Amino acid sequence: MNHALKSRRDFIARLGMISAISAFPTLSFSQINLPDEFINTDTVYGKIRGKRIDGVNTFKGVPYGGKISGDRRFKRPAPLQPWDGVKDTLTLGAPAIQNPRRGEPEPSEDCLFLNVWTPANDSANRAVMFYSHGGGYVGGSGGSGGQDGANLARNFDVVVVETNHRLGLMGFLYLDEIAGAEYEGSGNMGVADIALGLKWVNENIANFGGDPNNVMIFGESGGGGKTSALYAMPEAAPYFNKASIESGPGVRMLTTSQASKTTALVLEELNIDPKDWKKLLEVPASKLLEVQSKIPFVPPFQNKEKGNQSDSPILGFGPVVDDVILPTHPFDPIAAKISKDKPLLVGWNEDEYTFFAWERKDTAPFSMDFDQITERLSGQFGEDAKKLVESYRHARPEATAPDIFVAISSINMMGLGSIEIAEKKAQEGAAPVYLYNFGYKSNMKIPGTDYEMGTPHAMDISFKFNNEVPPKDGETPRMGFGGSKVDRFEASRNFAELWTNFAKTGTPSANAPSWPAYNLQTRPTMRIDATCEVIENRFSEELATWRAIGKV
């Protein structure tokens, strides 16, 4: 196994994405206080009852698909059956099979529920923002506190929708080659569930004040990878018209060769002969979760395959290029033609790596000198580590050794793939693509060090959902990754305004400089902060080195 791949597998295997990305401390929301009241509305399946809270109508645990357990395991959901009377949708639905989640129902195989936040159930035809949660492809839910959609709905007059969907082994076990036509597409059930959620939006969102013909899909980390897959999926294509891929650049997905090897490993762990694969339907979900935990997590990015794909390593569970549900890699060798007319946002956080240092309790890089960081990076980049460090030191003469280590590690994790997506979308010459860096600097320190988190992976979630807001009167401020500086509220406002205006119009705009579409001449990048700025040819010197060593 090559060092780069081992490092990436280690980085994902140690993420803590399952809980850390999607279970931030509960955040403070708007200072509006209005009396709660129940709200009834129609869906094509029957009436539901939600609640109006602080001026936002909230519907939680709305079913959008039928049974996916028992004889439906690894298959398309059973049709959702209509109901009589009024169904309460006041609490979150069950998340997908995973370890229990704080403040949420017990995880369940039958997890096809979604949540809706809307300013009003009227005929206003608001833009719809459809979010896919992070957590890799194995954890998370549409009910995480940091991504609560109420502030976006209230402050920016949009409708927000988030789904629960199958994850991990339940959502991405590739059985096509051993189970036959009945299980065709089995390796993509997790993203097919999301497409079914989009279909539900198309059929029902007008009753929630939303415009079914103006839908933006977006997602962070694993949610960015899912969004990348949706961008290339024929069954999702009719139901959205713009997208945002955030710190999850899914340039390539798993091959059938890789997915088949993971399936073989699962069967081996369970002592099931491939010809007896149907025994998988009898294995308790808890046992499948135990087996899943032994297999590395799949990052939202995949290395380009070289040589004989049958020799490719086992990479775990994630979307599969299967010629059924996902016919092509989203951005390899070119941007998916099926979405050529759909505008795209793509980008990453400047200090992605500090999240993983925080999660792993890895304090070592923050006391290293330049020789030491070069040695550590050589485990991943070999002899190219020295070239990278020298290039970054030349481009950033004031940077410390830890600064350089964080910068190299961060762009390698989420930046290079984001740039590749922007370049390939720009080369397509159709709908525009906009490249961003999130750069607001948190003053929260990595425990055990004096090094500040800066802009870590996943910090963008609470900012883009406008959930970094002043506390309510009498409420004790809570500090998450965003830190304690008051200018974080302005950065959150900027981020949310850019995203909601993109959802409404296909052009990101805010109280900020005009954001030009990405092109291969000036390469404009929006740096999002309390004060935003457009930077042309950002990181040009560093990227020249990445290109020289074949990483871009």
Confidence of residue 288 (pLDDT cuts 50, 70, 90): very high
Q: Is 476 exposed, middle or buried (0-12, 13-18, 19+ CB in 10 A)?
A: exposed
Residues of the chain with pLDDT > 70: what percent? 91
Task: Tell me the pLDDT tens digit for each residue of 10-27.
Answer: 444 444 443 343 434 333
pLDDT confidence band for 5 (50 / 70 / 90)? very low
Say how far apart CA 25 and CA 467 lie, in whole Å.
11
104 is catalytic: no
Tens of pLDDT along 137-190? 999 999 998 999 999 999 999 999 999 999 999 999 999 999 999 999 999 999
What ranges make up the beta strands (E) of 307-462?
344-349, 433-438, 442-445, 452-454
Q: Is 257 a catalytic residue?
A: no
Rounded average pLDDT over 255-284: 97
For the segment 276-305, the average pLDDT, to the nearest whole number, is: 89
- Catalytic-role residue among 162, 350, 457, 497: 457
Residue type, 117: W
In this predicted structure, what is the pLDDT of residue 9? 40
Map 214-270 to HEC letters.
Answer: EEEEEEECHHHHHHHHHHCCCCCHHHCCEEEEECCCCCCCECHHHHHHHHHHHHHHC
Q: Tell me the pLDDT band of 322, cut-offs 50, 70 and 90.
A: very high
User: pTM of the predicted model, to two decimals?
Assistant: 0.93
CA pair distance 503, 127, nearest whole angstrom: 6
Identify any residues that bridge with 438 across adjacent strands, giving them in sequence order.
349, 528
Express each pLDDT in 113-136 by its tens digit: 999 999 999 999 999 999 999 999
User: What token pair was written down for 356?
Assistant: 């993983």
- What is the predicted pLDDT for the residue at 476? 73
Confidence of residue 511 (pLDDT cuts 50, 70, 90): confident
User: How many alpha carbons lie under 13 Å from residue 252 in its C-beta half-sphere?
Assistant: 12
- What is the overall mean pLDDT for the chain? 92
Decide: residue 54, CB within 10 A, 0-12 exposed, 13-18 middle, 19+ buried. Answer: middle
Structural tokens at position 380: 């991943």
pLDDT of residue 29: 35
Per-residue tokens: 61: 């645990």
Q: With 70 as the cut, is the pLDDT of residue 4 above it?
A: no
| Cα-to-chain-centroid distance, residue 403 | 26
Comparing 475 with 438, the larger pLDDT belongs to 438
> pLDDT tens digits for 382-437?
999 999 999 999 999 999 999 999 999 999 999 999 999 999 999 999 999 999 99
Q: What percent of the chain has pLDDT over 90?
A: 86
For the chain, list the domains and their CATH numbers: 3-253+329-339 (3.40.50.1820), 344-544 (3.40.50.1820)
What pLDDT sits at residue 32? 41
Burial class from Cβ neighbours inside 10 Å (0-12, 13-18, 19+) for residue 107 reads: buried
Q: Quick check: 319 and 188 in contact, CB under 8 A?
A: yes
Q: What are phi and psi of 24, to 5 degrees?
A: -65, 160
132, 144, 186, 221: the catalytic one is: 221
Q: Could you write out the DSSP letters of every residue in 133-151?
A: --STTTS--TT-GGG--HH
**499 pLDDT higher than 50:** yes
Distance CA 248, CA 164 (A): 18
Task: State the pLDDT confidence band at 2, using cuts at 50, 70 and 90.
Answer: very low
Residues 391, 399: contact at Cβ < 8 Å? no
pLDDT digits (tens, 9 = 90+) for 54-84: 999 999 999 999 999 999 999 999 999 999 9
Please give the DSSP secondary-structure letter assigned to residue 186: G
Kindly tell me if the per-residue pLDDT of 458 is higher than 60: yes
Between 28 and 316, the more confident residue is: 316
- Write the single-letter amino acid at 363: T
Helix axes 189-204, 222-231, angle to 10 degrees: 70
**Residue found under tokens 């990754």:** 481
* Structure token pair of residue 188: 């993509």
Q: Which helix (H) or strand (E) is 153 found in, with range?
A: helix 150-156
Q: What is the pLDDT of residues 323-364, one digit of tens each?
A: 999 999 999 999 999 999 999 999 999 999 999 999 999 999
Say which of 352, 420, 423, 428 is annotated catalytic: 352
Does the annotation count 19 as an active-site position? Answer: no
Question: pLDDT value at position 313?
Answer: 65
Residue 240's nearest CA partner among 250, 230, 226 is: 230
pLDDT computed for residue 268 by the predictor: 97
Q: Rounded distance, CA 405 to CA 410, Å?
A: 8
Q: How far is CA 399 from the centre of its chain?
A: 30
